[in-house]
Every structure is written in structure tokens, then in C-alpha cells.
Amino acid sequence: MLELNYRNADAVVIGEENGLHLEEEFNNYKDTITHIIADLNKRKDKPGQWLQWMNLGYSEETIWYVKEFASMVEGRFENILVLGIGGSALGGLAVTEALLKPYWNLLTKEERNNLPRIFFLDNIDPDSINGLLGILDLKKTLVNVITKSGSTAETMSQYMILKNLLEQELGDDYRKNIVVTTDKNVGILKQLADQEGYKTFIIPDDVGGRFSVFSAVGLLPMALVGIDIDEITNGIKDMDLALKNIDIHQNIAAQNALIHYLMDTKKGKKLSVMMPYSSRLKYVSDWYVQLWAESLGKEFDRNGNKVNIGPTPIKAVGATDQHSQIQLYNEGPNDKLINFIRVKEFDTVLEIPKIFEYTGIGYLGGKTINDLINAEADSTKVTLADYSRPTITITLPKINGYYVAQLLYMLEVQTAIAGELYNIDTFNQPGVEQAKNYTYALMGRSGYEDSAKQLQSKMATL
């Protein structure tokens, strides 16, 4: 199981001004947390609650279809190209980056066990799209178009470009190179997929984009590159079981949610840094940033009061960012709670050769890179404590599908609990929708004429 160590957020270690009396707080919030966990589990099957993500580890049917499709297309494609943005891309990106061999796309076919390379086109920079299209052999590329709303302009425009190119290259057969993941009713993509006859995976109702990593949104790209889906679902299920525990003393998601909430509201720590000491977990930080920001950054609380709340998430990676952000974290404003992610056992033990023995770097010889990254993480944590800066450490026994799934699921539950503590709607995103609507208006989508007029008059005054 994952471990959560919160000692360095406690007043005993970092002092009264910045630390919390955690045992006392856990006891103070015991009943609140019990109620929140019981309530989330009670509401999770009810339509309209947006809690279906809590059931994804158990969706046998989707898991079966995903595995079946992956085995059906095995050996047919050299590349998987995922078109999607935000929650439709970040989960797949985070998990594949963590679990595939590093530099996967640069390995030979043999080194990849005949499995395809994978690319996520999650932006609309014309140069980078063009650059990627220039290196992919589209005949050997399976395009997975992912959009929950079935209309997002970024993803749909990419799809339109790819559809045209595939058709030019493959004639009528192009349909075999497209697989769609979308909502069953909403949006245009489902209608198009039906008309065109694409293989389609459905994102279940009441699963928001940023909570969709364990639906076909994330599972399909994972399965297509050979990631063991059973290992992923076992991780989710075991973590889910652990997090059903209503006792805060036994529930790491509740502990970390409460610590973040109290650090924000009592100690002014309005920034939440996610800093894995692992390059493979780098995109977990990107995924967390979206999850935390879109879920908790809200204008109104559930009672309609204007609150404008939400801790700001920041991504970092250790040891790299020790040489960029840590100066600020140690000596700048004491307004952050830093989450370290540690890996107990890396796949590789990399020795540093015993050379240059009589020079200033001789002390490194005979040690391992593993010793070094662990020493860096320990010393950063201790230095931050010396400066009275709170930190949390989440430890993964190793990086595999089981533990990465546990980590992501734990962070999802933590976010849901934090949302309850803030008394906000964790699962909506009116701020994102507003900008999407303005884009539709600017690009001339029908039905958005009034917004276009408003927008043009606002832009004229800028």
C-alpha cells in the first residue's frame, strides 16, 4: 500500500505558527470526515452526483471491451495518436509515462515487444501538430479521439485534420484507423462516429473529464501499449476498499484532504506543490494540477455564497526543481504545502563508478544514483522543516500499475473529500465552460451569435 507521512506538517516539527496539531485536528474532524466518506459512498450510485468515477475500477464490461479491442488490433499499428485535451489526455499521459519503459517512443520495435509508440496531441500549436504529422506514418497510426463533451474545439479540429489526411492516404479504409471515446448522448462526435462507423467507447454518465482516467479515456490508450489493465484495476479496488474506511486515522485520502484544507484556512498555505522524486511520475503532477485546480477553484460555495476559494496547485519534479524552485520554497513566502512523492525501490540500481577518487567529486564514486536521489529528497525535506515549511510525503513501494493506480485513485478521493470540506461543487467547471463558449462564439459556431456580439464589443474596448 501507499504510505502517507505527515509528520513534517505537524507543529511539533515545524512550530506553532506554521504547523498543525494533527492528532488533535483528526479528533476534532473525526465526525465530519466519517460523515463525508459515508455520504460520498452513499451518493456514488445516484445519477447527477458525478461520483461514477468511484465505480470505474469495477466496470467489468468496459474493462473487457478495452482489453478485447487492444488484443484485436495488436500488431496492426506502429503508433497510437491520442487527440484530447485536459481530462481527456492528462490521465493517459501520466500513466503511460509512468509505466512504459522510459523513452518508449525512441525504442526499437523489438525493444517495445512489437507494441506501438504513443503520442498525445493535447494542444493546438500549429507547428507542433504539423511537426508530429510529419513524422507519423498515418497508414500505421491508430487515432484515438477522446472528448467527453464531443465538441471541444481543440480536439474536434485535430480530428477533422486527421480524418482528412487518413482518408487521403487510405481511401474508405480510413475508418479502421479511428477509435472514438466520448459520451453516449452529448456532443457531435458520437453522431459522427455512428454515421462513420467508428469503433466507439463510451465515457459513463457522471464521470467528469478530470476524474475519467480509469474509464476508457485512460484505459484504452494504456491497453493499446500493453499496460496490464488488471494490475491497474486491482490497485484501484484495493485503494477504494482502504478509503472506504470512515475513520480518519486509517484513511490517507481523508488525512491529506484535511491537512490541505486546514493548512489553507488556518495557516495561509494557499499553494499545493506536487513534487515527485521520479521523472516517470512527472506527468502525475500535471494531472494533479488539473484535478486540484478545476475541482477546488470555485467562485461560489454550495449555499450560493461568493467565496472565490481554491488552493493553487504547482507542479515540480525532484531533484530537478531543487535547482529552480526550492530557493523560493525555503526562503520566500511561507504559503505552500509541499507534497513529495517518493519511490522506495526503483527498477534500476545505477552505480556511480569509482573514479576521480582524489578529487572533490570522489565521494560520489561507489554510491548509486538511487542513493543520491534519496539523499536529495531527504535533505530537501529536512531543510524545508528547518525553515518551518510544511511537507507531506507519499511513498510508493515501487512504480508499477498497481501502485500508480492507487496513487491516482487516492488523489481523486482526496480531492472529493477536500471539496466537501470547502463546501463547494467539486465536479463542475463553469470557468472552463465560459472560455469554451467564448471560443465557440469567436469561431462562428451557430447558436453562439449573442455571445459573439458581446465578446466583440468587450474585445473592442481592450
Note the residues at the interface with ligand PA5 (CB under 6 A).
Answer: 85-88, 147-149, 152, 155, 208-210, 294, 429, 432
| Sequence-distant contacts of 360-369: CB under 8 A, at least 24 apart | none
Q: What are phi and psi of 222, to 5 degrees?
A: -60, -50
392: cell is 507531506
Q: How far is the CB of 4 from ligand PA5 (least distance, A)?
A: 25
**Which residue number, 209 or 235, has a Cβ lying nearer to ligand PA5?**
209
Amino acid (one-letter) located at 430: P
**Which residue number, 264 or 294, has a Cβ lying nearer to ligand PA5?**
294
DSSP 8-state assignment for residue 101: P
Residue 370's closest CA among 344, 396, 391, 394? 344
Which of 294, 315, 336, 420 does the annotation list as catalytic? Answer: 294
Closest residue (Cβ) to ligand PA5? Answer: 209
> For residue 161, what are the contacts with CB-CB under 8 A and spacing of at least 6?
129, 133
Amino acid (one-letter) located at 37: I
436 is annotated as an active-site residue: yes
**Which residue number, 87 or 276, has a Cβ lying nearer to ligand PA5?**
87
Contact, 143 vs 77, CB < 8 A?
no
Q: How far is the CB of 427 from ligand PA5 (least distance, A)?
A: 9
**Which residue number, 245 or 451, has a Cβ lying nearer to ligand PA5?**
451
Q: How far is the CB of 182 from ligand PA5 (least distance, A)?
A: 8
* Angle, helix 216-224 to helix 60-73, in steps of 10 degrees: 30
Q: What are phi and psi of 112, to 5 degrees?
A: -95, 10
Where do we find the cell 449555499?
A: 303
Q: How far is the CB of 88 from ligand PA5 (least distance, A)?
A: 4
DSSP 8-state assignment for residue 123: S
294 is annotated as an active-site residue: yes
42: cell is 452513499
**Which residue number, 144 or 429, has a Cβ lying nearer to ligand PA5?**
429
Q: How far is the CB of 310 from ligand PA5 (least distance, A)?
A: 14
Active site residue ranges: 294, 323, 436
